[in-house]
A and B are shown apart, each in its own frame.
Chain A
Amino acid sequence: MATPLRFTSWAKALQAIALVVAVTLSMGTSNDSGRVYDLSHRLMCTCGCAQMLGECNQMGCAESARAKAELTAAIASGKTDRQILDTFAAKYGATVLAAPTTKGFDLVAWIAPVAVFAAALMGTILLVRRWSVGRTQLPAEPANPEIDALREQIRRETEAGIEGGF
């Protein structure tokens, strides 16, 4: 019987995936051309439309036009992304940021999904491994003519015509 693929190769594959995810999560866009676009998609519109600043197109939304102008001015004045976001948060309150920051309690928002996923993954793997310890081997009980006859019948009924049906 061929060796079943065991835990190690899976663990390696999962490690690789986890690494890719971790690396990609920690990166962000950094090209200058799309900074207005980028930042306006990290800020919420304050008009109450519950949309992102870059996407609010409520008619006559004075808020979004003003905030966009403010954003463009801030970028022109050479502020960093971080400074701009901080300025907005200070001015309009923390709800203006479209995603939680990575400071203080906000960090929990980011950690929990990863932690839950990791825990659930480990749990599932452990569970399957614990279950599979008692892997049933080929039935090695003494030959029982009654059972064998039944098995023969079952095979006939379920194999049902290799030649005719399938």
Chain B
Amino acid sequence: MTEMQGIIAGAMLTLALGIYIFWPENAPASQSEKSRLDYLLERKEQLYENLRDLTFEYRAGKYPEEDFVAQRSLLENETALLIKEIERVERTRPGRIALRAR
């Protein structure tokens, strides 16, 4: 490839990439904020996961009975409070309105 050919190939590459970048896109993905509700639901999912895991490990024999009961109680309490909050948020804001979490 001569120098000239190289420059022509480069120019064509530039053109093609330029067209790709600035090609009018009618609906670019929009950057919505994550809502407080989304966040709470994620947390709930994680707490459920932790509870399931705890139950499984207990059944696998890794926890003595009383440890298990205490731990489960703590986690359940935490989750219950969380669910109450989720219900409250859902009541006050029907539909998912963008809202800054925390």
- A residues lining the B interface (CB < 8 Å): 1-2, 136, 138-139, 146-147, 150-151, 154-155, 157-160, 166
> Whole-angstrom distance between the alpha carbons of A8 and B58 in the complex?
27
B100 touches A (CB below 8 Å): no
A-B contact pairs, 6 of them (CB 8 A): A2-B64, A138-B70, A147-B81, A150-B80, A166-B56, A166-B59
* Pairwise interchain contact A154-B51, C-beta atoms closer than 8 A: yes
> Is B40's beta carbon under 8 Å from chain A?
no
CB of B35 closer than 8 Å to a CB of A: no
With beta carbons under 8 angstroms apart, the residue of B59, B66, B74 that contacts A136 is B74
Contacts of A139 in B (CB 8 A): 73-74, 77
Majority-rule SS of A interface residues: helix
Kindly identify which residue among B52, B67, B72, B84 contacts A147, using a CB–CB cutoff of 8 Å.
Answer: B84
A2 touches B66 (CB 8 A): yes
Complex: how many Å from CA A136 to CA B74? 9
Cβ A1 vs Cβ B70 within 8 A: yes
B56 contacts A155, C-beta separation under 8 Å: no
List which B66-94 residues lie within 8 A (CB) of chain A: 66-67, 70, 72-74, 76-77, 79-81, 83-84
Per the bound structure, the CA–CA distance linking A20 and B48 in Å amounts to: 44
Q: Contact at B76–A151, with CB atoms within 8 Å?
A: yes
Main secondary structure of the interface of B (DSSP, over half): helix
Task: Tell me the complex Cα distance, A73–B48, Å.
Answer: 73
Q: Other than the known A150-B83, A151-B76, A166-B56, what 18 A-B pairs have Cβ atoms closer than 8 Å?
A: A1-B67, A2-B66, A136-B74, A138-B70, A138-B73, A139-B73, A146-B84, A147-B80, A147-B81, A147-B84, A150-B79, A150-B84, A151-B77, A151-B79, A151-B80, A154-B76, A155-B72, A166-B59
Cβ contact of A158, chosen from B55, B64, B70, cutoff 8 A: B55
Interface residues of B (CB under 8 A from A): 48, 51-52, 55-56, 59, 64, 66-67, 70, 72-74, 76-77, 79-81, 83-84
Q: How far is the CB of A128 from chain B (nearest CB, A)?
A: 18
Which residues of B have CB within 8 Å of A159? Answer: 55
Contacts A158-B52, A158-B55 given; indicate if A2 touches B67 (C-beta within 8 A). Answer: yes
Complex Cα–Cα for A87 and B66 (A): 68
CB pair A138 B51 closer than 8 Å:
no
Query: What is the bound-complex CA distance between A2 and B52, given in angstroms?
Result: 23
Alpha-carbon gap, A138 to B79, bound state (A):
15
A144: nearest residue on chain B (CB-CB)?
Answer: B80
A150 to chain B, nearest CB (A): 4
